Structure 1
Amino acid sequence: MRHLVILIALSVAKGLVADDVEDLSAIFYDPQTRVFLRELSSETFLFSTLEQTALEQSEADKPHLTKECIQDLNILINGTQTAPIGMAGMREIDTKLIIPIMDSTAKIGSGILHGHFTFYGSFEQCKAINYFDQDFHRRIRGGYYRITMDLPLGNQSVEVNWDVCLPASCSRDDLRSVFSGGTKIGQYLIAVTDGHDKIPDYVFASYLIGSIMLLIILLCMVAGAIDYYQRNVASLGFKGEWYELLMCFSIYRNCCDIFSTEAANKPGQISTLNCIRTLSMLWVIIGHSFAFSLAIVDNPLDIFDLRKTYVGQIFANSYLAVDSFFFIAGVLVAFLKFKDIRRNATALSIRAWLMFYVHRIVRLSPAYYILILFYGFLFTSWLHDMPVLLGPQFAVDSCRENWWINFLYLNNFIDEANMCYLVSWYLATDFQIYIFSPLLILPFALFGTFVGIAVSVLILLISTGLNIFEVFYFFLPASDFEGGPVDPRMREKYAYSFWIYHMPYIRCQVFIVGLLVGYLLERKKTVRMGQSFNMAMWVAAFVSMGLALFGLKDWISGHQWDLFPRAMYSAFGRLFWTAGLSWIVIACHYGYGGTAEVS
């Protein structure tokens, strides 16, 4: 989620996080800017700007523009200049070209003081324009473009995005040249983009992957139909290994298994993890939804101001949900592996450890690989004809070039700045921690509890120390939340993500805590504790989690912290959160959860 929240602060106002609407009032202090915004809000501003370019000159005078673009723009300008007054003399060019273009172009609206700097036009109406010109004997179709301008804001600047409808024969380079040529827009112009700039075309791999996925879907439906018929209608007499292999693809059987809750309360299950997993998943979704809403609403600063409230901390600190998943992974790895070691004498053999990795790869990779290929070669090619894609926050990533890095689970190390499918960093980090988890498991299995705990604590301390060192060395913030103040000495924008947030040697902190909890749950079948101790631990757990969740409020609200408190929170905030989770799991598992217990 590293790019999402900061996009508001950066795309709304470069280098600015507006705490009050007065910060943005400065945009109206400059008389020239104020006049420009007033003119920009006029319905005829687009046409008057085009007239300034003197496109009626010969094509030889405009060698940098394409022939069709010059012709279509001149048709538009001439048609506007000769437009009739009133409905009586309305022409076809007026109803099918000029008026639709004028109406489809965005108008500057209210809410600038609240971050309304992206003005959308009517995309569908613009793309529906289809006017046949009798002089050139060809059709003029509508093209939807975004003009990005940089307006002065005191000592800084703010980007304004103005969506316009113009002939589709003009490329973004044509329009950039047009608007740069002595127009009022030219002095503020940054870029001109269109909805197809970032959309990759279909290639052979796209059709191949699409065909494979269709075959898999067909196989799932056929297997599901056979499975349903055999279970609920009549037996077809199918059996054997091939039938069982086919049933692995049964959509009916898999859906029944996914939505079944029968296994949740079986003896030996850690049912509390199901609740934590569900709440964490919802928290991640809410956090991402909150971040994306900042990029598309008309008043992003009103939403962004929520970060100053305690409720806003729940959105801003949704990163802690990721730590919950690392914690769950540690609990399950330890609980299942130590159970296997206790029951199976060969669980520590070389073959057993090889299967430890093979099972992980086989379980994760097929679905993950299909997702990466689908996203990189199919899904991104479907993302067209949507004006929201014109924003920088929706840049198509580099899956077509870097998919193989994801296949190796190294996308958080290799070319991390151009990562394919950004959220896949978690799976890479989790897989890398899993690879080295035997370093934590073997001391317990070979040398006993004391040595195992000592090794785990040592690695935990090393990880914590590296976290503190990197915050001081790279001048990093306290969290991956990028709406907070940034240390000007930090050299890379996303340094926290690369050096801390995505790194297995840092994120293994909570995994280790989870592993210790999993070891306890597997070793101790019952635990006795007094009511007073239980209540005190519940209070301590909630206080610990509250400190992790709300401890950043001052920094998130916009107040810069020194390096020391930033390093302390970065190094220990996740541990405070995980400490609370640990008690919840332990208490509920042994029957001391009260109303919180899942039974």
Structure 2
Amino acid sequence: MPSIAVLLLSLAASSSVLVGGANDLPGVPTVSTIQRIIAGVPHHERAVNSSSTTDQKTLTAEDILPLLPRNLSQFLPAINQIRTQHCREQTEEFLFGLHNLTSWAVKMFDSAGKVPSGVLSGSTYSLGNFDECVNVVAPVAGGHFQGKYCLARILLTGMRQLNSVEQQPSSVWQDIKDAEERRAIPKDTIHLAFCIPSACSGGDLQEFLTSTMQAANSLSTFRVDVEVEESMCQVKKEMELDDKDIAFISVMAFFLLLLSISSVYDFITTVDIKEKGSTPPSVVREALLAFSVPRNMKKLVKYTPTEDTIDCIFGIKFYAMLLILIGHCSLFRSGGPVLNADFFQKAQMKFENSLLFNNQLFVDTFLLVSGFLFCYHLFKELDKRKSINVPVLYIFRFIRLSPAYIVVIAFYASVFYKLDSGPFWEARVGLERERCLESWWTNVLYINNYVKTESVCMFQSWYIAVDTHLFLLAPLIIIPLHRRPFVGQALLMVLMISSIVIPFVVTYVQSLDPLLMFYSREIVDISTNYTFVTAYIKTHMRATPYFCGILLGYILIRFQASGQKLSKTMLFCGWAIGSLCAISALFSVTAFYSPNYQYSSLDAAIFAAWDKVGWCVGSSWLIFACCTNNGGPLHRLLTWRPVVPLSRLTYCAYLVNGIIELHGAGTQRTPAYLSILDYAKASLSHAVLTFSCALLLCLAFDSPIHALQTALLKRERRKNSGNAEIKENGSTLPS
């Protein structure tokens, strides 16, 4: 449609002159003021000479920037609409500098975005040059001002009256209009970068552009609206630490000192022991050594095969976490600015890409493993002891998980925001900081998946709350299973059936999606996604894998106690059924991304209920086969030596991965070109960064707390306490 191209070119022209590139900068007050600029009158002399400028020549674009001629007269009425006086004054200085080709003014002009090419393929972002804009410092009379980077949304809202050409199916307007569908690429919104003086706000820019577009809209049947959110406008700021930042840095400095002292003490005591022999155990000594970096590093990499043959869990945790990290990378990369959004649309319909689009099953794997390990180890403890102090078990879990978790939350709420900048930094990291400041206490209490879900701190933290809720419930199932098997089995079956029925009913009644759908327009901010908030993060919607894990642990315990062996027929049937269930659960999601699929509440409800069951059947058989020495090559892969220390980092990796993803999204300077190779490179780099940061977090907080708990449990055991000891690979979280 010619009118679209003409209008967008007109929009680009307007941006290039007044604001340094993408559109007009709010700030030129009157025609006479602009005429004085053309005459070369400095800003501080304009008020005095205002009466003598009426005979100046009419404004032409050549007078301002001969290399890029533009007709600015059409924008003069809009200039008068800008209300902020200081913004107008700085804009005058900008135009005067641009007229004289002053370096800083031309940089503002140069740094802004232009109308992007490839809009009909989904390339709707023109981000300009963020750093060039914010690094501008304009020396003017009476001081200076900075460049402010703003990202405006140009909304192609529709046609007032379609002519015969535009009504044709082949019309370009049909391509833009089709973007209203959920699965379609959004083509009706263009994001353009502006570089404006720092005194101007996003509201000033929006007012000016809206006024400008009114004139453009009156000349065409095509309508354009403009939105400029203040969170999308940024200036360069010097790092200023507030009380929260200082407190966080002080705590980190204290722990760094503690780690250093403990490591030195460990070295000294190790030398003394070699020379003088072993020393009697001491609580103070063990507490201090718990923070020794060398000692914790040795524990991390140490691997001694266990007697109970459940070491395959190491590999399952690591590979599941790796796939989760790939899913997170895909989520943020596809929800950000891209050059070829049609790649994402085509990828959704390919069978093999279900690993990305049904990624929630790998999170369910951790819930399955959590239930399995807790049941398995608690049964072992109940076999050894007459009773278990359940409240103490809850307290130990809280102490075990909370320190590293709280440190990451505090990092989100304090210094993270001060460490970098970028076009989306305020909208990504700044928004996350506000959410954490508002709802951090729900995370600490592990209720953040039900309370204040409109401001979730750490998008992935819902899992920790879900796992905690199910952990609190688990002893009430496992203890009856051990003492009164019939009662425990009945209770477990009721809970399992309920956990299947509830997602079915909720999805059917509320007409929800069968799973969290990866539509690019809906995953820009995953924490506001309706399905994510309503169903995805809720404990009652995610409980099935955990109960399946408890059942698996109970079956394995009883099978090992019986001394039976699996026949070849049973093995064949187990592998066949397990593989079929897992494959169908993982890859059947492709049907919901088909362009021919028509939504059905019944279809969605069935999938929401049974997809997890199928995956749990396949995963449970894999664990059962490996734990009974029937895993073959898969067991060797899952117990591969390098996998063991990495699997111990999965909890910390899960905590810090959000930092890696948010930082990447917030600092993205240019649209990405999506491809399989691009996803592979990005996922690999994010995984390496995530596990590197996880190692630091683990050595500083997670491993010391675990060492302290182990020392206390040993002390309690010597006093014949009845508290359960959850072993290293019995952690109920990805740790």
- Regarding TM over 0.5, the answer is yes
Residue matched to 2:709: none
Q: Deviations over 1:50-105 (max 9, x none)?
A: 4897524679996963333211211222344x44xxxxxxxxxx242232112111
CA contact (8 A) 1:229 1:235 kept: no
State TM-score, norm by structure 2: 0.69
1:164 aligns with 2:182: no
Q: Deviations over 1:260-299 (max 9, x none)?
A: 223xx22125111111101110011000111111113322
User: Is contact 2:82–2:204 with CA below 8 Å preserved after alignment?
Assistant: yes
Q: Is 2:313 the counterpart of 1:276?
A: no
**Could you tell me how far apart the structure 2 residues matched to 1:179 and 1:535 are?**
69
> Which residue is 2:29 aligned to?
55
Identify the residue that residue 586 of structure 1 maps to in structure 2: 624
**Alignment correspondent of 1:248:** 290
Alpha-carbon distance in 2 for matches of 1:503, 1:484: 23
Deviation at residue 322 of structure 1 after TM alignment: 0.6
Equivalent in 249, 252, 268 of residue 213 of structure 1: 252
Q: Is the 8 A contact 2:312 2:626 kept in 1?
A: yes
Contact 2:25-2:91 within 8 A present in 1 as well: no
Counterpart of 2:258 in structure 1: which amino acid?
L
The aligned amino acid for 1:535 is F
More displaced 10-residue stretch of structure 1: 102-111 or 494-503 = 494-503
Please tell me whether the aligned partners of residues 148 and 234 of structure 2 are also in contact (alpha carbons under 8 angstroms).
Answer: no
Instruction: State how 1:186-201 maps to structure 2 within 5 Å.
Output: 187-193=224-230, 194-196=232-234
Cα distance in 1, alignment partners of residues 261 and 627 from structure 2: 41
Please tell me the residue identity of whatever aligns with 1:569.
F
In the alignment, which residue of structure 2 is the partner of 1:39?
10
Which residue type is aligned with residue 87 of structure 2?
C
Q: How far did 1:164 drift?
A: 1.5
Tell me if the contact between 2:149 and 2:195 (Cα under 8 Å) persists in the aligned partners.
yes
SS of corresponding position for 1:145: strand
Question: Given the alignment of the two structures, is residue 480 of structure 1 paired with residue 554 of structure 2, yes or no?
Answer: no
Higher mean C-alpha displacement, 236-245 vs 221-230: 236-245
Alpha-carbon distance in structure 2 between the residues aligned to 1:399 and 1:585: 37
8 Å contact from structure 1 (residues 56, 74) kept in 2: no
| Amino acid corresponding to residue 294 of structure 2 in structure 1 | Y
For 2:155, what is the secondary structure of its paired residue? strand
Is residue 2:143 matched to residue 1:108?
no
Instruction: Identify the match of residue 297 of structure 1 among 331, 338, 345.
Output: 338
Distance in 2, matches of 1:118 and 1:232, equals: 62
CA distance in 2, matches of 1:484, 1:138: 44
Going from structure 1 to structure 2, the CA distance change for 1:42 and 1:112 (only over 3 Å counts) comes to same
For the residue of structure 1 that corresponds to 2:113, the secondary structure is coil
Which has the bigger relative contact order, CA under 8 A and spacing at least 6?
2
Kindly tell me: are residues 589 and 51 of structure 1, through their superposed partners in 2, closer, same or farther at Cα, counting changes over 3 Å?
Answer: closer
1:145 equivalent to 2:119? Answer no
Cross-structure match for 1:129: 136
Taking a change above 3 Å as real, the CA distance of residues 545 and 521 of structure 1, as seen in their structure-2 partners, is: same
How far 1:524 moved relative to its partner?
2.8
Q: Establish whether residue 572 from structure 1 lines up as the match of residue 591 from structure 2.
A: no
For residue 379 of structure 2, what is the aligned residue in structure 1? 338
Please give the residue correspondences for 1:455-474 in structure 2 after superposition, counting only pairs within 5 Å.
Answer: 455-474=491-510
Q: 2:413 aligns with which of 376, 384, 391?
A: 376
Aligned partner of 1:190: which letter?
E
Partner of 1:10: none
Separation in 1, partners of 2:414, 2:461: 16
1:549 Cα offset (Å): 0.6
Per the alignment, residue 92 of structure 2 pairs with 74
Cα drift, residue 567 of structure 1: 0.7
Aligned to 1:86: none
Summarize the Cα distance change of 1:496–1:171 in structure 2 as closer, same or farther, 3 Å threshold.
Answer: closer
1:470: Cα distance to partner?
Answer: 0.5
- What amino acid does structure 1 have at the position aligned with 2:623? V
Percent of matched pairs sharing the same residue: 22
Structure 2 CA distance for partners of 1:139 and 1:595, relative to 1, 3 Å: same
Alpha-carbon distance between aligned partners in 2 of 1:375 and 1:452, rounded to the nearest angstrom? 42
2:601 matched to 1:563? Answer: yes
2:288 & 2:488 partners in 1: Cα distance? Answer: 43
Aligned counterparts of 1:278 and 1:232: Cα–Cα separation in 2: 36
- The partner residue of 1:154 within 177, 183, 197 is 177
Q: CA deviation at 1:42?
A: 5.0
1-structure distance, mates of 2:558, 2:413: 45
1:285 corresponds to 2:325: yes
Deviations 1:120-160 (A, max 9, x none): 11112112222322xx2322322211111111433757221
Name the CA shift for 1:234/1:411 in 2 (closer, same or farther; >3 Å).
same
On the 8 A contact 1:210/1:374 being kept in 2, the answer is no
Equivalent residue pairs, number: 544
Q: Return closer, same or farther for 1:346/1:52 CA change in 2, 3 Å cut-off.
A: closer
Contact 2:26–2:204 (CA<8 Å) still a contact in 1? Answer: no
Give TM-score scaled by structure 1 length: 0.83
Tell me the equivalent position of 1:179: 209
Check conservation: 2:436, 2:458, Cα contact below 8 A.
yes
- Counterpart residue type for residue 207 of structure 2: S
Alpha-carbon contact 1:142-1:165 (below 8 Å) kept: yes
Which amino acid is the alignment partner of residue 110 of structure 1?
A: S
Corresponding residue to 2:447 among 403, 410, 419: 410
One-letter amino acid of the structure 2 residue matched with residue 472 of structure 1: Y
Instruction: Quote the Cα distance in structure 1 between the aligned partners of 2:418 and 2:392.
Output: 38
Preserved CA contact (<8 Å) 1:53 1:179: no
For the residues of structure 1 that align with 2:274 and 2:437, how far apart are their CA atoms?
46
Give the one of 363, 373, 381 matched to 2:400: 363
* Consecutive unaligned residues in structure 1, runs of 5 or more: 1-28, 84-93, 487-491
- Judging changes above 3 Å, is the alpha-carbon distance between structure 1 residues 556 and 232 closer, same or farther for their aligned structure 2 residues? farther
Summarize the Cα distance change of 1:202–1:421 in structure 2 as closer, same or farther, 3 Å threshold: farther
Letter in 1 for 2:4: T
**Equivalent of residue 65 in structure 1, options 67, 83, 94:** 83
Deviation, 1:411, is: 0.7
Query: Which is worse superposed, 390-399 or 248-257?
Result: 390-399
The worse-fitting range, judged by mean Cα deviation, of 569-578 and 228-237 is: 228-237
- Which residue does the alignment assign to 2:125? 118
The answer to whether the 8 Å contact 1:198/1:395 transfers is no
Query: Counterparts of 1:64 and 1:103 in 2: how far apart (Å)?
Result: 23
Partners of 2:536 and 2:297 in 1: how far apart? Answer: 34
Displacement of 1:177 after TM fit? 2.5
CA contact (8 A) 2:516 2:531 kept: yes
Determine helix, strand or coil for the equivalent of 1:214: helix
Deviation at 1:33, TM superposition (A): 2.5
How big is the shift at 1:485?
12
CA contact 2:116–2:125 (8 Å) conserved in 1: no
Q: 1:345 to 1:424 in 2, by over 3 A?
A: same
Supply the distance in 2 between the matched residues of 1:201 and 1:445 (Cα, whole angstroms).
58
Specify the code of the residue in structure 2 equivalent to 1:70. R
SS across alignment from 2:228: strand
* In 1, Cα distance between equivalents of 2:590 and 2:417: 37
**How far apart are the structure 2 equivalents of 1:287 and 1:254?**
30
Q: Is the 8 A contact 1:106 1:162 kept in 2?
A: yes
The answer to whether the 8 Å contact 2:320/2:363 transfers is: yes
- Aligned counterparts of 1:590 and 1:393: Cα–Cα separation in 2: 47
Which residue of 2 is the match for residue 257 of structure 1?
Answer: 299
Relative to structure 1, is the Cα distance of residues 260 and 158 closer, same or farther in structure 2, using a 3 angstrom cutoff?
Answer: farther
Question: Secondary structure of the equivalent of 2:424?
Answer: helix
Q: Which amino acid aligns with 2:491?
A: V
One-letter amino acid matched to 1:519: Y
Closer, same or farther: CA 44–421 of 1 in aligned 2, 3 Å:
closer
